Amino acid sequence: MKTAIHAKHAAGEYTNIHPPIGYIIDPEQKNHLIVDEETRWIVEKIFDLAAHGAGRKRIIVKLIEDKVPTPGYILYQRYGMRPNIYKNAPPEKAYDWTMSAVRDILKNEIYIGNSVHNRFGTVSYKNKKRIRCDSDVWFRVEGTHEPIIDKDVFWQVQGQIKSRHRKQGDGTTHIFAGLLKCADCGKSMVIGRANKDVRHRYYNCNTYRKYSSLPDTCTAHSIRYPR
C-alpha cells in the first residue's frame, strides 16, 4: 500500500481526501488539483498581507474584521466535516482564524504548483502521534498543478517569516533570537526562565521542550543566560 501511495506521489497526484483551500479536485482527472475560483481570493489575500509586512497576528485581525471564512468552515459547508465544531455554533465561529491555520497556508508550496509529501509522520508504528518531519526528508514534485501565488512572492514571504522573531513580554526581541541551534537535532534553542526572577534565564532545545514526553526525542540540555 505504501509503495502504491509513493508511486502516486512521484507522479504528482494528490492523494488526500479533501483539497486545501484555494483548490478543488479536478472532476475530469483523478487525483489532480485545479484552482477553486470561489476561494482562491482567500489565499491571495493572506499572501498579499504577508508580502506587505503583516505578521500572523495582524493577518488574523484583518481576516476576522473582513469576515473571511476559515478553511475548516469551508470544509464544513461543502462536505459536512467537523459538525461538532460548526453545527449550532455562533456566526463568529466561521471566521475564527488561528495562528497555525495562517502559518500552514503561508508555508505550503502547493500554492506555487508544487506537491510536497512526507511533511508529517508518526513517532513510531506503535505511537501514532503526528509530528512534523524535517524538510530534508520531504518528497517534492514541482509543477503538478496550476499555481495561485507567484514564486517570487512566495519565497519573499518565506524570507520574511524566517527573519521575524517572536517578541518577549516586554515587547523586545531577544538578542540571540533565531541564532542559537541545538548541536544534536539542529532545531532552535528557545529562551525560558526557571522562576519569576528574569535574571535567571536559560536556553534549551525546542524539540525537547515540545516532545519531551515522547521516546526518541532530543535530550534535556540547556545553556544558562545570566543577566
Q: Where are the domains of the chain?
A: 2-163, 165-227
Structural contact between residues 97 and 74, judged by C-beta atoms closer than 8 angstroms: no
Query: pLDDT (tens digit, 0 to 9) for every residue of the chain, 227 residues total?
Result: 666 666 676 667 787 888 999 999 999 998 899 999 999 999 999 999 999 999 999 999 999 999 999 999 999 999 898 899 999 999 999 999 998 899 999 999 999 999 987 666 665 556 666 666 666 667 788 999 999 999 999 999 999 888 765 555 555 556 666 677 888 877 778 777 666 555 667 788 877 777 666 666 677 777 777 66
Residue 10 is predicted with a pLDDT of 67
Residue type, 120: F
Residue 48 is predicted with a pLDDT of 97
Residue 127 is predicted with a pLDDT of 65
Residue 94 is predicted with a pLDDT of 95
From residue 24, how far is each of 9, 13, 61 by CA, in Å? 18, 13, 27
Q: With CA atoms as reference, report the closest residue to 47 among 143, 151, 120.
A: 151
Give the whole-angstrom CA distance, residue 69 versus residue 21: 10
Residue 5 is predicted with a pLDDT of 66
Name the grid cell of 202: 536559560
Instruction: State which fold the 2-163 domain adopts.
Output: Hect, E3 ligase catalytic domain fold (3.90.1750)
